Amino acid sequence: MDALANELKAKIVESLKLQDVNPDQIDDNAPLFGAGLDLDSIDALELVVMLEKHYGIVIKDIEEGRPAFQSVRALAEFVRARRPSQ
Amino acid sequence: MTARFPVITGLGIVAAPGCRVDEVWDSIRAGTSGLQPLSLFDSPRYGQVPTGEVRHNLIALGAPTHGSRSDQLGWLAARDALRSAGLDLSGGTERVGVLLGCSVGGSFDSERFLTTLLKQGKMRARPTRFHECVSVVDLIADTFGLYGPSMAIATACSSGALAIATAAEMILAGEADVMLAGGADSLSRMTWAGFHSLLLVDDAGCRPFDRHRAGTSLGEGAGILALETEASARQRGATILARLSGWGLSCDAHHSTAPHPEGAGAIAAMQGALRRAGLTSAAIDYINAHGTGTRDNDLAEAKALKSVFGDRVPPFSSTKGFFGHALAASGALEAVLCVEALRRQEMPPNPGFTVLDPAIGLTPLPLLQSASLAHVMSNSFGFGGNNAVLIFSKPESEAVPRLAHPAPGAITGLGVIGPGATCVRDIEPPLPPGSVTVHSCGALADAALLSSNQRRRLSRLIQMALITARRSHTPDPAQRLAVAIGTGLGFLEDAAAFLENLISKDEREPMPARFPNSVHNAAAAQVAIDLGARAMNSAPTNGEISFESALWQGMCQLATGEADGALVGAVDELNKYPLSIGQRWGFWTDRTGPGEGAMVASLTREETATTPLARVTAVRLGRYRRPFDAVREAEWIASAVNLAAVDVVLSGAGSVPALDAHYHAVVTALGDLTGRALEHQTYKQLCGEFHAASAFGFSVAVERVRQTGRGVLLYTLSLRGAKALCCVQP
């Protein structure tokens, strides 16, 4: 199990106020936008805020974040790569 | 009836590049951008990126010392528009009105109140007196003695153009001979942080249509046209600067902030404007594009231009690089430029553009260019997919009159949330503790009707609008549906949450999802998305007559044949800030309790309704004189309403004491005028005091008409001088 992926699922549910969605139900590889969780561009911006708040990753251009928002797995990889060293 | 066709006889402008029309044009000719580092307020997170801030001292230019920054900007532009039109307003006149787009309103000043409250724990509520978007309209009308129709429209970035189009409709409909029309908006922390949180600001300054564009630059200002009937202008020998020959309004019904990717709504609005002007696309000589500099807008707009104009897109430019994006003022500033472009036969350039974007495939004007211009188009597109396109023409060009045929509207459905139940509401922090007896609508029983995305993302008041709209209306995909949902104070829960967070965290961790919900047209836009309503979409904000303003706009769309159906309504919510500030100012009493509610009515043209609930036979807006003259009011009502069919006057009396005597005096004067006593009924004892309350009153009127089979006159006064009437008959 990927602890970071699980943590991100909880943060997605919390920051987007997803209703009737249990973090455990989110598939690591399922698309977050369009199909899957059916998120939209405003949700992507909320995820940008979440990434900065919890992981110190600053995104100034939504195109930068686009690869990260493909799935939870992609998001976890993005966080690992971009997270400032602690 | 070309005599009633709207022409432009005066211009006023206050913006970053200059505070006079010739000063602005000199900057444009010199190619000097008005964008400079922000200095109006500190922005710890976003810094001093290029901004179209007005750096002139507004008071030194003559602006009144009271009023918000938006009020002062608008007032200056109004003064100059009146001066250049050369109108004699001595004694005031009912034949001149004012209609402005304003979406920021007094936010910049209210933010000072909130900062003092959050950072110092001090309650300094004075700046919030000018919070409402309509404040600038009331100030202009009061100063210059304009007693014709007055209204503000808050549809974000398209407000100014929508206001000009609505004012033109008022002139054509005979509601006024002259309308001051345009827009005014100041910079504010709210819109500043809001656009930044949506990642829509280019730190390098906006580069509209450029391959490397990365967002817009915010700006502020005011632009006002004196729109006048041709007959009135000719009669007083005024110089006709240009003609407003067409306007087209539409809604994407697609998304709260992003444009339709193929520009579907933009195409419909451009085509609508051409149709209205009686022109083909080949007749347009220049286009002032919306061109914000965001990736999505410019791409969608370019696609729309190619769709409407094919491979012959006329010379075009975005002038946002001169002004910044001045939101509700934007379409009005650009309208002033279009009139000047026609007058000077010069086309303004597109600062910021250097590299062609292959995805766009169009090059805007690099430099100011002389050209023979007969017809020019101005595009404005706003949040909520709200589109307004104007066409201006040389004075000597032929007008194509397309008159509204004022006809009763059939009410086919009503959705009402309210009246609220009486309960005690505690005032929450950061405000000083207290409690107020309120009329609250409580939890929304019908929220389950909405989708999970609607429930999680939309605040309670927007949900109230959605629920009432759905209850009022049976969707018909073939119907072109217009939406006008008014609000006095807007979506305060969203605005307050966004600003409290912004100020207390010094711009860290912004709330991007809250920002689009905080704009006054959030409800109208969400209703349009929910019901696929792609005709005009509007959010009038006009104090106590916000509902009647929405009704006027909806009826107008039916009468001009621009829509087959119209959803009209108004919404306002209880919120701790007006509760607390109202209590401090002694506004809430045992008799006057704050309330909330939502009402949406579905209207169609009379001939298409099979079993209407009732009909709206008249709706009219105006302003009353001070001291109040009840006889003059009764005559105004009698000129619009068949009083023989009316038994009851339903008014907003019984709440705010200052208006009670006026209401009673008017009912008495109507009795004297008609020779028979009319029954005076009231509704605010049921629903409480809030700006959208007359929408609830309208539902009471419809019910009463259904029970008695006799007409009801709904008569509403605003504390700030506006008035409205609406007649409901079987």
In tens, the pLDDT along B2-61 reads: 678 999 999 999 999 999 999 999 999 999 889 999 999 999 999 989 999 999 999 999
- B509 plus B559 within the same structural domain: yes
What confidence tens digit (pLDDT) does each residue in B380-392 have?
999 889 999 999 9
The reply to whether B237 and B89 lie within a common domain is yes
Residue B299 in any domain: the answer is yes
Whether residue B405 contacts residue B607, with contact meaning beta carbons closer than 8 Å, is answered with: no
Domain extent at residue B623: 616-729
For residues B702 and B722, what is the distance between their CA atoms, to the nearest angstrom?
Answer: 23
Answer yes or no: is B145 within a domain. yes
The confidence score (pLDDT) of residue A53 equals 95
pLDDT digits (tens, 9 = 90+) for B128-157: 999 999 999 999 999 999 999 999 999 999
Is the pLDDT confidence value at B167 over 90? yes
∠ CA(B446), CA(B449), CA(B453), 5° rounding? 115
pLDDT at position B405: 66
Higher per-residue pLDDT: A34 or B479: B479
Contacts of A61 in chain B (CB under 8 A): 199, 214
Within 8 A by CB and 6+ apart from B456, the residues are A16, A17, A18, A19
**Looking at the domain assignment, is residue B400 inside a domain?**
no
Q: Residue A37 — pLDDT band, cuts 50, 70, 90?
A: confident
Under CATH, to which class is A3-18+31-82 assigned? mainly alpha
A22: number of Cβ within 10 Å: 10
B66 among known catalytic residues: no
All residues of chain A having their beta carbon less than 8 Å from the beta carbon of residue B214 are: 61
- Per DSSP, B338 falls in state H
Q: Are residues B425 and B380 in the same domain?
A: no
Same domain, B364 and B421: no
Residue B680 falls in the annotated catalytic set? no
Task: Tell me the pLDDT tens digit for each residue of B355-411.
Answer: 999 999 999 999 999 999 999 999 999 988 999 999 999 999 987 766 666 788 999
End residue of a domain, out of B611, B633, B660: B611
Q: What's this model's pTM, rounded to 2 decimal places?
A: 0.98
* Domain assignment of residue B646, yes or no: yes
- Which residue, of B552, B581, B611, is where some domain finishes? B611
Which among B287, B317, B326 is positioned nearest to B31, based on CA atoms?
Answer: B317
Spell out a b/e string for B503-520, using b for 16 or more CB atoms within 10 Å of the CB, else e.
Answer: beeebeebbbbbbbbbbb
Q: What is the pLDDT of residue B3?
A: 79
Residue B492: inside a domain, yes or no? yes
Instruction: Judge: B509–A17 Cβ closer than 8 Å, yes or no.
Output: no
Choose, from B196, B290, B439, B520, the residue flagged as catalytic: B290
CATH number of the domain enclosing B285 = 3.40.47.10
B212 burial level (CB within 10 Å; 0-12, 13-18, 19+): exposed
Whether residues B561 and B663 fall in one domain: no
The answer to whether residue B404 is domain-embedded is no
Q: Are residues B584 and B677 in the same domain?
A: no
Q: What is the ipTM of this complex?
A: 0.95
A45 touches chain B (CB under 8 A): yes
Pair B642, B621 in one domain: yes
Does B197 fall in a domain? yes
Residue of B131, B196, B254, B325 marked catalytic: B325
B442 with B370, same domain: the answer is no
Q: Are residues B240 and B385 in the same domain?
A: yes
Report whether pLDDT(A7) > 90: yes
Examine the domain organization and report whether B43 and B131 are in the same domain: yes
Confidence of residue B591 (pLDDT cuts 50, 70, 90): confident
Cβ contact, residue pair A19, B512, below 8 Å: no
Q: Are residues B700 and B595 in the same domain?
A: no
Rounded to an integer, the average pLDDT of A53-78 is 93
Query: What integer pLDDT is reported at residue B342 of this predicted model?
Result: 98
Please name the amino acid found at residue B445: A
Per-residue confidence (pLDDT) for residue A1, from 0 to 100: 54
Check whether residue B207 and residue B79 sit in a common domain. yes
pLDDT per residue over B496-523, tens digit each?
999 999 999 999 999 999 999 999 999 9
Asked, for residue B8, whether it belongs to a domain, the answer is yes
Q: Is B214's Cβ below 8 Å from some Cβ in A?
A: yes
Provide the pLDDT confidence category of residue A86 given band limits of 50, 70 and 90: low
CA–CA distance, B133 with B190 (Å, rounded to integer): 14
How many domains are contained in chain B?
3
Extract the runs of DSSP E, i.e. beta strands, from B395-498.
409-417, 421-427, 434-440, 481-486
